[in-house]
Amino acid sequence: MTDYDVLRVFCGPNGGYGNELGVVRDGSVLPDQGDRQALAGKLGFSETVFVDDPERGVIDIYTPTLRLPFAGHPCVGTAWLLDVPELVTPAGVVGARLDGEFSWIEARAEWAPPRTLRQYGSAAEVDALDVPPPGEWIYAWAWEDEAAGRVRARAFPGRDDGVDEDEATGAAALLLTERLGRALNIVQGRGSQILTAPQPHGWVEVGGRVFLER
C-alpha cells in the first residue's frame, strides 16, 4: 500500500473537526494519473494530494472521481506539511505562509472550480438543510453576524461518490470572499473554521488550522 499522511484542515478553535486530506509525500511511487485517480477513489477523502517535488512545492490534486487544477483545503494542508513558501499547481503558483496557529495560502478566484453560492436568511436555515440530490455543487451560506464578517456555511459537492457534504471547502470560501469583497470568518460543516481576506490585484488569502492525524 502506498504510504500517505492524513491531515485535518480548517480545524475549529479546540482542534476538532476539519476536513480530512490524504497526502502522498513521494508522488514518484505513483507517476501515472490513472493510478493516482484509483488511489484517491480507494482512500475516499474529499481530496488526495500527490507531491511531485517537495522542495519546489509541486503538487497534483484528486477527488475520488476527478483531477483538480486547484483546491483550497489541499493547498492549505500541504503547504503546512511541507513548510514551503509556495505551491505549484496546474492552475498557477499558490503563495503560502504560516502565522501562529494558522496556515495561509494566497490564490485567485478564477482558479476555483465553479460553485453555486446560495445565500439563506439565517444560520438556522443552513443548519436545517438536507443533502440535495447529486448534480449541482452548492455552497449554502448565511450571515451569523454581517458586521463582524461571520458566516455559517455548508457545502454539498453534488457528486455520486460517497462525499455527500464537504466539511470545509477553501475554494468555495475563496469564491464567496471574492464576491463579497471582504474578510470572512466562516464556520462550515459540523464546526470547521475558515478565515479569508481579500488582497490587492484579485488575490485572496485563505487560512485555517491544520493537524496531522496520522
- Cell numbers standing for residue 38: 484509483
Common-topology check for domains 5-107 and 111-200: yes
Nearest CA-CA partner of 89 in 41, 57, 128, 55? 57
Query: What superfamily in CATH does domain 5-107 come from?
Result: Diaminopimelate Epimerase; Chain A, domain 1 (3.10.310.10)
Residue extents of the structural domains in the chain = 5-107, 111-200
Of the given ranges (123-127, 134-138, 177-181, 190-194), which has the lowest mean pLDDT?
134-138
pLDDT at residue 197 greater than cutoff 80: yes
What are phi and psi for residue 37, nearest 5 degrees? -65, -40
The mean pLDDT of 28-43, rounded to a whole number, is 96
Class of domain 111-200: alpha beta
Calculate the average pLDDT of the chain. 94
Question: Reduced to 3 DSSP states, what percent helix, strand and coil does the chain have, rounded to the nearest 5?
Answer: 20, 40, 40
Strand bridging mode 102-108 / 93-99: antiparallel
Annotate 93-148 with DSSP letters as a single string.
Answer: EEEEEEETTEEEEEEEGGGSPP-EEEE-S-HHHHHTPPPPPSSS-EEEEEEEETTT
The reported pLDDT for the residue numbered 179 is 96
The mean pLDDT of 28-37, rounded to a whole number, is 96
